[in-house]
Amino acid sequence: MAKKKKEQELGKKAVDTSSIMDLVGSTTDQPISETLELNYMPYAMSVIVSRAIPEIDGFKPSHRKLLYTMYKMGLLTGGRTKSANIVGQTMRLNPHGDAAIYETMVRLAKGNETLLHPFVDSKGNFGKVYSRDMAYAAARYTEAKLDPFCNELFRDIDSDTVDMVDNYDATMKEPTLLPTTFPNVLVSANQGIAVGMASNICSFNLKEVCQTAIALIRDPEHDILSTLPGPDFSTGGQLLFDEAATREIYAMGRGSFKLRAKWRYVKDGNRIEIYQIPYTTATEVIMDKVAELIKAGKIREIADMRDETDLGGLKLTIDLKRGAEPEKLMQKLFRLTTLQDSFPCNFNVLIGGMPRVMGVGEILEEWTAWRTECIKRRLYFQIGRKEERLHLLKGLERILLDIDKAIRIIRETELESEVVPNLMIGFGIDQVQAEFVAEIKLRNINKEYILKQTKAIDELEKDIQALRDTLSSSRKLQNVIVRELEQVAEKYGQPRKTEIVYDSADIQEEDEEEPVPDYPVTVFVSREGYLKKITAQSLRMSGEQKFKEGDSLSFSRETTNRAELLVFTDKFQCYKTRLSDFEDGKASLLGDYLPQKLGFDPEEKVVQVVMPGDHKGFVLFFFENGKAAKVPLSAYQTKTNRRKLTGAYSDKSPVRAILAMDADGQLAVYATDGRCLIFSTAQLLPKTTRSTQGVAVMSLKKKALVAAVVPVEDSGIADQSRYRTKTLPAAGALLKPEDSPEKQIAFEL
């Protein structure tokens, strides 16, 4: 019997299997084009629109649903709650597993350090963005609430600023966007991989983004690079600035930034400490690569490397072998490991449900337009509320005319349902006003209370008119946006974490070479661009300096053989070199021709030669149009011996003077119409970019140009107070005969 029963069960299973095979075999063939159109395309669009690509508020749907859930839970003002509770509540809006929701919250949390301005105030282990293997704790162990910074996300959400839609089961409402008061799309780093496209947006400094947005609102032609020098990452590090690449990213929305770790050498212990790494890598990746290089014999200077990261922050320590040079080792590590890495940018944002790759300027323009609509909706909402209140108070004002009549109508009305209609008839008010009057407490039916309430009528009418005036004026709407941006920047702005290293985008390891001998020399540069480097002994024995016919001395300085030289040209370029690259010369020789020696472009000429020394102080560029740019000498500092720097200064107007100064001083500016102006360079603020157009210093008359700029002590002007100004720009004063530049200075256009 048992054997027979077993055979019956096996037979049943066989029948079930065959029926399944019959079902599979009954499927019909479908053309691939139809499969793509009906099955694949809806899936692809769902991933693009509803999952991977951020919208103009800077959030993906998963971020938005989580933050809105926390807002509705009262976590913006209340205390922390268990993360598991937040994850469970979020499932009402986000029908995904708890692991996916919790991972979203981890990346938004302060403890993870992914964002410059975290949205979640966390408690517990949330892992670290710079660690691949440091796992975050489970949701039941951690706690969280919204950071006060989220006030800028939800400030206007209850004022009908954004559309509210049903959630997936139509049991509650959720916002389609969050009405952020600042361009969060550029402040919060965001990465997403969709179907057939991706998005990778780097983070920028909040204060710089707000300043740039304000500047573009006031002047659509504003140079973004002057207020937004580069991205800012939560992990710090250094940004190797490349102006051409940065401008391309700002214009097109695609490109890459080069990042590098920050390190220090600790002499006591002969070790290197790396304390900030690029945003795109992890400590374990770096450690693994260094171990691989040591094993392969490519690096021999390292005795030991360990991860000493603790509560104080990230720290990778490298113990050096005796005689190892820290600088050369780090250059090698930058070249061979991710201690120097690139952040690829792809500014792909959903605009109106359609993905668009945009530059920074276009993103800010779209955000401003969207924010303008939010503010309009808020104003309409406020007007509606005030008009409702005004309507009720005007009904109350009618009652003021005869309070006794209102009481008599209510007392003499037999049915409760007829009280409101009788009040409407008795005072000529509508049903809403009558309902409001009928609900007034008995204790409030006195003249004093009603007068207090109706006094607000004039104020409400003024407020409504002011709101309508703002709505009808694009300038006033812009002022509202600007005011809010200024408040956000002032309240939440932070110093940059990522240091910008100018002119180092293409830094390569320096070739090992023999030490350059150092000895005193005197350098001479002629107006035509000939350079002579003469030793102290040769100079004592030499006679008069020889120059080419028609040429003369332009620059001379006592210095050393290892000194660096900056050669500025009329093509807005700067060539960096060292005097050690030139042979020692004699006074009787013409010297080396700089355009040929440094590889100038055709017809490029020397404008000025500057010796930066230790790169302290600044370079002052004075242009024909009366503007001046004050650029720190550190902007021209690089590690290489010689390098060509494009965009060394602004090309908007011909330069008339280039002065290197260790400290602020007084300068005399001469114009072609005979005017002179004396001002202090302390009145000029240093600019972050070399190619800045500068600020107006001298207000020029029609057809007048700046002719020359010299230090006051070299001008020979007797009555300096006549030409001095404390406010810029200024027109200066006409030169007296005794102060005439013909007697003191020789210059020509």
Annotated catalytic sites, by residue? 141
C-alpha angle 228/233/237, rounded to 5°?
A: 105
- Measured CA to CA, the distance from residue 175 to residue 65 in angstroms comes to 8
Residue 645: alpha-carbon gap to chain centroid: 24
Nearest to 395 by CA among 448, 438, 447: 438
Nearest to 237 by CA among 329, 316, 300: 316
Whose tokens are 């023999």? That residue is: 514
Query: For every residue of 58-102, which 3-state class applies, written as one string?
Result: CCCHHHHHHHHHHHHCCCCCCCCEEHHHHHHHHCCCCCCCHHHHH
Residue 629 is classified by DSSP as: E
Residue 125: alpha-carbon gap to chain centroid: 29
Continuous H helices in 515-661:
536-541, 594-597
- Measured CA to CA, the distance from residue 24 to residue 19 in angstroms comes to 9
Find all residues with CB under 8 Å of 144, minimum gap 6, and list them. Answer: 70, 75, 80, 81, 83, 86, 105, 109, 120, 121, 122, 123
- Measured CA to CA, the distance from residue 676 to residue 674 in angstroms comes to 7
**Residue 487 token pair:** 């408040």
Report phi then psi at 333, rounded to 5.
-65, -35
Find all residues with CB under 8 Å of 609, minimum gap 6, and list them. Answer: 525, 531, 554, 555, 565, 566, 567, 568
Q: Quick check: 386 and 443 in contact, CB under 8 A?
A: no
Find all residues with CB under 8 Å of 381, minimum gap 6, and list them. Answer: 159, 160, 161
- Measured CA to CA, the distance from residue 679 to residue 662 in angstroms comes to 17
Query: For every residue of 555-571, which 3-state class applies, written as one string?
Result: EEEEEECCCEEEEEECC
Nearest to 344 by CA among 261, 212, 231: 231
Strands 164-166 vs 143-146: parallel, antiparallel or unpaired = unpaired
- Measured CA to CA, the distance from residue 682 to residue 693 in angstroms comes to 18
**Residue 529 token pair:** 């661009």
Nearest to 185 by CA among 160, 153, 215: 153
Find all residues with CB under 8 Å of 417, minimum gap 6, and list them. Answer: none
- Measured CA to CA, the distance from residue 504 to residue 515 in angstroms comes to 23
C-alpha angle 719/723/726, rounded to 5°?
A: 125
